[in-house]
């Protein structure tokens, strides 16, 4: 019988990386607490909390608080079509990632590498 022991993931991140991961993936807390005496419920508390970026919340259909202004520049940026960079995992606008490179780590798509090569050696007979 083998004993499983927890292992620390090899990452150099600290608090900033943990917060980034929580905002990217989202965190939901559901708690139901009730206090009863002799079968009679005296107190009942239901807690539903979600912590996520606006982008993640919109992706999963979470409802925003009333009065949230969705016409701001920041909201427009967050609602753009974004994709995770294959190298660093950061969310980048999909068009930028495919046509240029990742602004975080410099990863270039195969499409970008092909379009940068000159076709001067190509001969058509």
**Kind of pairing, strands 82-84 and 27-37?**
unpaired
Element of type H or E holding 29: strand 27-37
- Under 8 Å between Cβ of 46 and 32: yes
pLDDT tens column, 58-113: 777 777 777 778 788 877 776 677 788 888 888 788 888 888 888 888 888 887 77
Per-domain residue ranges of the chain: 14-62, 80-118
Determine the pLDDT at residue 68. 78
Q: Kindly indicate the confidence band of residue 117, based on its pLDDT and cuts at 50, 70 and 90.
A: low
CA distance 103 to 80: 16
CA distance 21 to 25: 6
pLDDT tens column, 36-47: 999 898 999 998
């Amino acid at each position: 019988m083998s004993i499983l022991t927890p292992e620390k993931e090899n990452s150099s991140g600290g608090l900033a990386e943990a917060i980034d991961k929580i905002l990217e993936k989202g965190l939901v807390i559901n708690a139901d607490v009730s206090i009863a005496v002799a079968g009679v419920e005296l107190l009942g508390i239901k807690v539903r909390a979600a912590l996520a970026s606006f982008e993640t919340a919109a992706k999963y259909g979470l409802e925003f608080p009333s009065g949230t202004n969705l016409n701001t520049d920041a909201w427009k940026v967050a609602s753009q079509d974004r994709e995770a960079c294959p190298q660093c995992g950061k969310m980048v606008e999909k068009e930028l990632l495919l046509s240029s490179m990742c602004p975080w780590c410099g990863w270039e798509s195969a499409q970008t590498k092909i379009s940068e090569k000159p076709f001067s050696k190509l001969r058509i007979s």
